[in-house]
Structure 1
Amino acid sequence: MTKSIAGVDIPDGVMAQAATDLIRGTESELMFHHALRAFLFGALTGYREHLTFDAELLYVGAMFHNVGLNVKYQRSAYRFEVDGANAARDFLRQHVVADGAIQEVWEAIALHTTPGIPEHMSPVVALLSAGVQMDVRGARYNEFTAQERDEIVQAWPRESDFKKKIIEVYARGMEHRPETTFASVNADVLDRWDPDYRRLNFCGLVLGSDWPN
């Protein structure tokens, strides 16, 4: 693997290599490349904002952030983010990582699709979300230089029609557990993907509850 891209060194310690091998062997090339780009955009955000963060923890978070979409979790009743966070926690425990660091990665993965919260938390939590949001929906796109974007995409390409393909990956990873999309951006995915999906409405749940008034 390339050692440095767009001025960001790719973690290559034993734990990072193990994470790379695991994710490369279990996820599609589209999602593996997405994970790498998310790490790079997240790290660049950290450098630009002068944040102090553990690059290896951010890397592991990026590797695992979409694991919960895999077929292994088709029977899961959890949000896919929680499945990914739990998988990362198990992996980090195998590598004897401190409990505080494990919790930080867990939170980063669990909250990476929750806008408005991660940026107020620890750097790893904030930067994983920033990296993912940049690669998926172009959040803060113009805060990265054209050279940075080009180097990253050249190293880890976005497949043709990436936008539509990643929406499909999200949808297929959640279509069996639509109730987990309540109050999250995931509801938008199933709303577009599944014509029979009906999103839950918070106001409807309040007004329709068993409370008499």
Structure 2
Amino acid sequence: MEATPSVIAGIKIPDSAMAKATTELVRDTETVLLFHHSRRVFIWGSLTGKRKNLSFDPELLYVGAMFHDMGIMDSYASETERFEVDGANAARNFLAAYDVSERDVDDVWDSIALHTTPGIPQHKRPTVALVTAGVEMDVMGLAYNDFSADERAEVCACHPRGLKFKHGILSSFCLGTIRKPETTFGNVKADVLEKMDPTYKRGNFADIVLNSPWES
């Protein structure tokens, strides 16, 4: 993979020892599509933070953004947890080797675990809110027009989406859930499996309540 600029769309890519180790681990573990996606998530999240005048730690945001899809990969996937939780656990284990406070580790964990649960992250501290903001911009195009055409062009020149990113990211999400479909309950990945797996049956909360062992 070719070297990329150290500053992209005005956002400096963190280059501390921890950040470099994050980059190396994610680059060596994830697919090229997910690596570029994760870097874009960091940049979109950072630009969002600047636009909203939020005070955030770029390194924590970087770790959250880079690890947010690590749970999709077999080497980090558990048999029963949501892939988001697997990625969050991987980040927590990684951060144990560095001088990071418990609160900051918890923020990184939440930023990853909650990134497919809409309606909550934006009310949390900046690390959590901005990882999800970056994901939503890159995957769904939310707040697309809040970024300038020059910003979008520069980010995607350095970290290309490719012609089939939309289908590729959905396939990646499917890979992270198809062997444990129960983990889609209550998050957006249920939509992915319903679209891509003809054998998938969506869980229904009302049915679970009505069919519970309680008499009334």
TM superposition score category, shorter chain reference: over 0.9
Specify the code of the residue in structure 2 equivalent to 1:120: H
2:8 corresponding residue in structure 1: 5
| Residue 157, structure 1, aligned to residue 160, structure 2 | yes
| Residue 43, structure 1, aligned to residue 55, structure 2 | no
Specify the code of the residue in structure 2 equivalent to 1:38: V
Specify the code of the residue in structure 2 equivalent to 1:194: D
1:116 corresponding residue in structure 2: 119
Specify the code of the residue in structure 1 equivalent to 2:128: V
2:208 corresponding residue in structure 1: 205
2:64 corresponding residue in structure 1: 61
Partner Cα separation in structure 2 for residue 91 and residue 171 of structure 1: 25
Per-residue Cα deviation, 1:170-201 (whole angstroms, up to 9, x for no partner): 10111100001001101001101100100100
Contact between 2:76 and 2:90, CA under 8 Å: does it hold in 1?
A: no
Q: 1:83-162 to 2 correspondence within 5 Å? A: 83-162=86-165
Structure 2 unmatched runs, 5+: none
Matched residue SS, 2:192? helix
How many percent of aligned residue pairs carry the same amino acid? 52
CA-based RMSD: 0.9
Partner Cα separation in structure 2 for residue 139 and residue 151 of structure 1: 18
Contact between 2:37 and 2:138, CA under 8 Å: does it hold in 1?
A: yes
> 1:75: how far off?
4.6
Specify the code of the residue in structure 2 equivalent to 1:191: E
Q: 1:169-180 to 2 correspondence within 5 Å? A: 169-180=172-183
Per-residue Cα deviation, 1:49-106 (whole angstroms, up to 9, x for no partner): 0000000000011110000000124552000000000000000111131111101100
How many residue pairs align between the two structures?
213
2:189 corresponding residue in structure 1: 186
Runs of 4+ off more than 3 Å: none
> 1:117: how far off?
0.4
> 1:2: how far off?
1.3
Partner Cα separation in structure 1 for residue 33 and residue 145 of structure 2: 23
Partner Cα separation in structure 2 for residue 135 and residue 64 of structure 1: 15
Per-residue Cα deviation, 1:150-169 (whole angstroms, up to 9, x for no partner): 11000100022100011001
In structure 2, relative to structure 1, the CA distance for the partners of 1:7 and 1:118 (3 Å cut) is same
TM-score, scaled relative to structure 1:
0.98
Contact between 2:117 and 2:186, CA under 8 Å: does it hold in 1?
A: no
Specify the code of the residue in structure 2 equivalent to 1:19: T
Specify the code of the residue in structure 1 equivalent to 2:207: G
Partner Cα separation in structure 1 for residue 49 and residue 106 of structure 2: 20
2:34 corresponding residue in structure 1: 31
Partner Cα separation in structure 1 for residue 78 and residue 51 of structure 2: 41
Partner Cα separation in structure 2 for residue 126 and residue 56 of structure 1: 15
Partner Cα separation in structure 2 for residue 92 and residue 52 of structure 1: 21
